[in-house]
Structure 1
Amino acid sequence: MTQPAPSPYPALPDTFFNRDAQTVAKDLLGKVIRHRHEGLWLAARIIETEAYYLSDKGSHASLGFTEKRKALFLDGGHIYMYYARGGDSLNFSAEGPGNAVLIKAAYPWLDARSDANSLARMQLNNPDASGNVRPAERLCAGQTLLCRSLGLKVPDWDAQRFDPQRLYVEDCANPVPEVIQTTRLGIPQGRDEHLPYRFVDAQYARFCTRNPLRRGQVEGRDFFLLQQQGS
């Protein structure tokens, strides 16, 4: 089998993740997740994240330490995976016990290392409800769709560290000039649902879990636009 091309970009170090959860959530936008699956590097550009804190009633960590949640209480750069909505979900621990970032949605990434064969594998991993090929732009449009497309499973990766030979996050120098900040999705009433800890790459807003720029949404009330320096 032909070996995949090396990447010219560096994997993110653990120090990247060992920072404030909101900072990490914003800075992960535009970064690329790569997972080695069945001989191929499957890849997706992160377009939507959510930050969570120990003190936040909407977080898993607020329910207390358990062996299942231990990755949330480890230093930044540990992987925390859990089952939600009938599928797997991917999170990375951040600075401070109980703080983390949920990878909410992404967009398939193609380059010399992750080419059309990788995209075809992602589509095989994640067909639509009728068993048909899911359009590329919808493959990772949600936290469980993302994991299904990339072949990420809770038993394989929960409480693990990144492995440059199997799973890592990479800075591919993708500019993210504008970030949308808004409230998180699926937080029950009374569980700090008002906190604006969801971040979306504005260029990809229509491909995320729920478009924050959809009709009826008002800037300054429903969302805020953040200009990124150096993008």
Structure 2
Amino acid sequence: MPDTRTSLPSPIPLPEQFFQQDARQLAVALLGKVIRRRLNGQWLAARIIETEAYLLEERGSHASLGYTEARRALFMAPGTIYMYYARGGDSMNCSSLGAGCGVLLKSGHPVVDALSPAASLARMQALNPNASGGIRAPERLCAGQTLLCRSLQIRVPDWNAQRFAADQLLLEDDGYQPDQVLRAPRLGIPSGRDEHLFYRWVDAAYSRHCTRNPARRGQVEGLHYHSLELEAAQRQAYQESQTCSAT
């Protein structure tokens, strides 16, 4: 139904069944989707360009450390928002199919469109200035999990263990899909905690703007990362979801 405060159509959130997927499948499926956050009458927006999957049975996940009240969202219905502090900043995830499993929204890229025009981008830049207090370049605004949350004002106390809300915070499919996907090990996983698993996915078209480009100089395709067409990435994720994940 129309949003009377903007006279524009309201964004259409992803259906709840979208999240009823294995975390690896969901991590691929979320690439290209748009996060919309309504703040004081403006829709701020970013496209998801990087994700990481986490499973209960592998040692890189928070859930593998056991259930706590702070981690309860990972054990709730798929599509529940799980937030925590990473290096002092807010970090956003969503639960997937399977208790204790979820996907980290690792980085994004600002979206400017009819619903989130240039003024929305300017608001994001005001919310997330660079280290000297100046204007951060658009491609660096959401280039990391805490930068993404800061630019969209998504905070742990407000959103942990909450559901997406169509009038405040949602994920939307605007029709965009990556052509090519880069797959690599997750970032920041301690040694001995399944750091070898290739559970990180990046939209190749935006790889220079993610947390760390898997295909940067010095990285060897086939060794440090894999480059796949979207359908191949989806197929791999599905096949792995049918087998034991942690080896």
For Structure 1 versus Structure 2, the TM-score category normalised by the shorter chain is over 0.9
Q: Which residue of 2 aligns with 1:113?
A: 115
Q: Which residue of 2 aligns with 1:71?
A: 73
User: Structure 2 residue aligned with 1:161, among 153, 160, 163?
Assistant: 163
Residue type at the aligned position of 1:3 = T
Cα distance, 1:2–1:19 mapped onto 2, change above 3 Å:
closer
Q: Which residue of 2 aligns with 1:134?
A: 136
Q: Which residue of 1 aligns with 2:178?
A: 176
On the 8 A contact 1:21/1:95 being kept in 2, the answer is: yes
Secondary structure of 2:133's match?
Answer: coil
Unmatched 5+ stretches in structure 2: 233-247
Secondary structure of 2:17's match?
Answer: helix
On the 8 A contact 2:12/2:166 being kept in 1, the answer is: no
Note if 1:47 corresponds to 2:52: no
Identity %: 60
Q: Which residue of 1 aligns with 2:9?
A: 6
Residue type at the aligned position of 1:182 = A
Unmatched 5+ stretches in structure 1: none
On the 8 A contact 2:58/2:194 being kept in 1, the answer is: yes
Secondary structure of 1:43's match?
Answer: strand
Taking the TM superposition and a 5 Å limit, the aligned residue runs for 1:216-227 are 216-227=218-229
Cα distance in 2, alignment partners of residues 38 and 58 from structure 1: 37
Cα distance in 2, alignment partners of residues 4 and 61 from structure 1: 43
Residue type at the aligned position of 2:8 = A
Task: Report deviation, 1:38.
Answer: 2.0
Cα distance in 2, alignment partners of residues 182 and 109 from structure 1: 25
Cα distance in 2, alignment partners of residues 136 and 128 from structure 1: 11
On the 8 A contact 1:79/1:162 being kept in 2, the answer is: yes
Of residues 90-99 and 31-40 in structure 1, the stretch that sits farther from structure 2 once superposed is 31-40
**Two-structure CA RMSD over aligned residues (Å):** 1.6
Cα distance in 2, alignment partners of residues 127 and 18 from structure 1: 36
The ranges of structure 1 where at least 4 consecutive aligned residues each deviate by more than 3 angstroms after the TM superposition are none
Report the TM-score when normalising by structure 2: 0.90
Taking the TM superposition and a 5 Å limit, the aligned residue runs for 1:24-103 are 24-103=26-105
Q: Which residue of 2 aligns with 1:22?
A: 24
Q: Which residue of 2 aligns with 1:122?
A: 124
Task: Report deviation, 1:2.
Answer: 5.5
Give the length in aligned residue pairs: 230
Secondary structure of 1:12's match?
Answer: coil
Residue type at the aligned position of 2:62 = H
On the 8 A contact 2:31/2:177 being kept in 1, the answer is: no
Secondary structure of 2:147's match?
Answer: helix
| 1:148-206 CA distance string (max 9 Å, x none) | 00010001100000110001000010121111110000000001100000000000000
